[in-house]
Structure 1
C-alpha cells in the first residue's frame, strides 16, 4: 500500500487527536498534517507526544479559510482528508447555535470546495496527476434522531431526523458531502459514530465531567430521570474503524461505527462513582493528590449525584447497528466497556496536568 499524506481537521480535539496518535503509531510511513483553530475544545498540548515526529505538522487555522485549505492540500501533496472539526456539544448548540451553523455547515462546505478545486479541477498537484483521493467525513448517530426503548438500532438506511441545532448542522454537512460525490465525483466516505469516550476528552462531556467533579466534590448533574440511553464507543476503536473505512470502504458509502454497548446515563454515573470509591479505597496516594475528593475517599461519591431539569428536546435513546461495517470491513471493537472504561479512568487520574486548567475554565464559563 502506497504512503498516504493526510490532512486531519480538528486534530487537536478529542476524537481527532486520538485518531492522529493512532494513525502515526500504526502507519508510521504516512505524513499527517493537523489543521485546528484551537477553539475552547482544541488543545495543542494533546499533540505534544508527537511534536518531534518528522511526519507530523501542525497548522493553526480555520476550516472556513478555503484558500488556506487549498494551500495545505497542494503544499503537502495531501491525498486523504479526514474531517473531524466540528462544534459538538448539544447544550452549547441550544444556547448558541450560530457557531454550529458556521463550523459544521459552512466549514464543511469550505473543505469540500477546496478539495474539489485541488483534486478534481486541477489536472496535477506539484506536477503529479491526482487519480486517487479520499475525503472522509466524520459524523454522528444523532443525525438519525431518537429511538424508543424497543426500536431497532440505527442503520445506514435510517432516515435522518435530527432534533437539536447540533445534529441538524451535522445532518446538513452529511448531505453536502454526499452531494459533492454525486455531483462532482469527489471520492468521499462518511462514518456515523456513537458516543465516544477515552483519553483527552474535554471535561464538559459526561464521563470526564463526572470524574473531575468527583475529584472536586462538586455535584454530579443528571438530566431528568437519567434514563437516556447511549451506545458508548472507546475512541481508539473509532480510530480503528475510520482506518478500515479509508483502506477498505467503498467510495460514496456511509458506515456506522458503534460500540455494541448501550448504557443509561444514570448507570454510567453510578459506575463512575463506584469505581472512584474503589480507586480511593485501594490507593491511599489518591487522597494526597486529590484532597478535595472527600466523598470518594469516604466511599460515598454517589452522594454527589444531583438531578437537574432535563435538556430541551433531549433525545431518549441512540443505538448503532454496525452490521454493514462489520460485514464489509471486518470491524469489531477491540475494547469492551470494562477494559475501555478502566483505561479511561486511569488516564484521568494520572493526567491532572492535562485537564486541570480546562476543568477550571469550563467551571468559570458556567457562572
Structure 2
C-alpha cells in the first residue's frame, strides 16, 4: 500500500508558500501485531500547525524538515491485526497530512457515525469544542449576567465559546471579520452582539456593545482586537488565552499601541486573571464532562456549528493559508477521500 504525503520542505517565513511543502508518495510498511492500516477521510486544519512549523520555543517540539505535517484525522480502517478494530470502522487518529497510514491500534478511538457526523470529532465534538468548553468554564468561569467577549467568533472555538457562555446565563459579544460572519454570529450562533473588527468604527462599536465593561475575554487573536478588548476589562476580569493567530505569520515583533508596561498596569490595577492554556492539560479533568454535556447539546441543536470542507489533500496548503488569513467559516476540514 502506498500513501501520498505532504511534508515540510522548509520553514515558512511569514505566510506559508507552496514551496515550503513537498508532496511525495511512499510505500507503507507491512502491518505488525497491534497495528492497523487506515485511509484518511477527513483531515483537520488548525492554527496551531503554523507554530509547529517554526523553530521558535513553544509548548511542543517543532516539526523537522522532511516530516509529514501533523494533524488529526478521521480514518477508515482498511486492515487490522487486532479484534478490537475491524475493516470499515471509523476512527479518530493523528495521521497528519497523508492519505494512508499504519498506526498503533491503541492510539485511535472508534467513532460511532450513528451518534453524530464523524466530522464533528475534529470540530465541535473534538479538540476545538473541548478547547472552548474547558478554557471558558475552567478559566473564564462566566457568571450569570456577566459579559463574555470572544474574537474569531465565527471559528470552531469562538462560536462554541459564545454559545456555552449563553447557556451559563452570560451575555455573549462576538468579534469577526466582515458582514457575512457577523450576521452568522447573531442569526445562527445566538450571540447578543456581533462586531466587525474590520470596521473603521470598531473601537466605538466595542465600547457601545460593552457599556458595563468586559468580564471574560476569550483570546484567540491578539493584535489590535485584543488590545481594544483588554482596555474594556472590568476589575477581576478573566482572560483565557487560547491563541494569537494575528501574530502567527509575523516576521518581526508586532506593533502595539498598548505595550507591555501598560498591559501589566491593567493586570495590576484591575486585578485581571490572564491564563494561557493548551487544551490537553484539561483532558484528565474535563473530558468526561465535555462529552456528557456537549454531545446532547449538539444532538438537539442547543449548540450549533459550521464546517468548511475543502475537497482534496492537494488543496491543503492553500486552505491552510486561508485559515491563517481568516477566509474560512467554521471548522476547516480537508476531505481526503
Higher strand share: 2
TM bucket (normalised to shorter chain) is 0.3 to 0.5
Query: What's the TM-score once normalised by structure 1's chain length?
Result: 0.32
Query: What's the TM-score once normalised by structure 2's chain length?
Result: 0.35
